[in-house]
Amino acid sequence: MQLLAFILLYPFLWLISILPHRLFYSFSDVVFFFVYHIFGYRRTVVRNNLELIFPKKKTNEIDRLEKDFFKHMCDMFLETIKTMSLSKEQVRKKYNVLNIDVLKALEKERSILIVCSHYANWEWNVSINNYVNSKGYAVYQKITNKYFDTFIRKVRARWNTTLINQRETVKTVVRDKRDGVTGIFGLVSDQSPQRHRAQYWSEFMGIKVPVFNGAETMARKLDLAVVFLKVSKVKRGYYQAEFITIAERGRETEENEITEAFLRLTERQIKEKPEYYFWTHKRWKHRGKQPAPFAKTT
């Protein structure tokens, strides 16, 4: 059944990926109409999140944010498919890196952990590896359908990226260090952990919630450099990336310093253009609950 699903969907996905720019985004408009107006995909979750985070905004402002988000979400989903056919030259035009020198300077000394949020288009973040000498890794969750999982691995490998899961990350850093090479590890870090497993709670967009601190734990243990990746949407189909150094050496940071810096940078990014954050996540579902006895809080 998994193979059949892959065989049936692949030609359709490929056809979408080769559509010219104007037709491609016209198709995205059609997808938006069905997702938003017909199926109402997660509209309640998105609305609740927006009203929770922006209580002072008027109804018409929330309406606009909601629609703008769903339009962007459809664009982003289709841009993920577009990755199938994008060349390195094409993605350089669509995803502009402003200050790659930040990474080039750090990679000479040690491996780098790039942390980012579900903002703008994080799928094209892997194209950063076309600009650096270090081997690039993206930490991801394995896809259930093994054929699509293999396919995604091959697509991202075109941009010099190797996919690894979280459990493989530490041993990969250790192996590279043993071999005398540096790696760049990309990690999306704004998900909501299970409450009973959360080691740390902090305020995010003004609300105390459990947060992942695995990136900080790894950086301090393995002495990694930590860089925040800020991606901005310039216009439809075009993005620019900027690197903000959080720590040049993880071992020299205080406890929770990296995690807090990431949260504050993510907040600032969301407040600038909230319609490009991934509001379908139930990011604040544990608000008002008590942390587990072993958890630390700010």
Q: What is the DSSP string of 55-103?
A: TTS-HHHHHHHHHHHHHHHHHHHHHHHHTTT--HHHHHHHEEES-THHH
Q: Please report, in angstroms and rounded to a whole number, the separation of the first and last CA atoms in the chain.
A: 48
Measured over the CA atoms of residue 253, residue 254, residue 260 and residue 265, the dihedral's sign is: negative
- How many structural domains is the chain composed of? 1
| Per-residue pLDDT reduced to its tens digit, 232-244 | 999 999 999 999 9
**Residue 17 resides in a domain:** no
Domain carrying residue 202? 87-297
Which residues, listed in sequence order, are joined to residue 143 by a DSSP beta bridge? Answer: none
Burial of 244 (0-12, 13-18, 19+ CB in 10 A): middle
Q: Is residue 62, in this structure, part of any structural domain at all?
A: no
User: Is residue 186 in some structural domain?
Assistant: yes
pLDDT, position 3: 65
| % of residues, the chain, pLDDT over 90 | 64
Residue 45 lies in a domain: no
In a domain, 118, yes or no: yes
pTM equals 0.92
In a domain, 230, yes or no: yes
| 84 vs 223: which has the higher pLDDT | 223
Q: Is residue 70 a part of any domain in this protein?
A: no
127-162 per-position pLDDT tens digit:
898 888 888 998 877 777 776 677 777 777 777 788
Residues, the chain: 298
Average pLDDT, the chain: 91
Report if residue 28 sits inside a domain. no
* Tokens of residue 240, six digits: 């620019």
Q: What is d(CA 283, CA 285) in angstroms, rounded to the nearest whole number?
A: 6
* Exposure string over 65-99, b if 16+ CB within 10 A, otherwise e: bbeebbbbbbbbebbbbbbbebeeeebeebbebee
User: In the prediction, which pLDDT does 123 show?
Assistant: 84
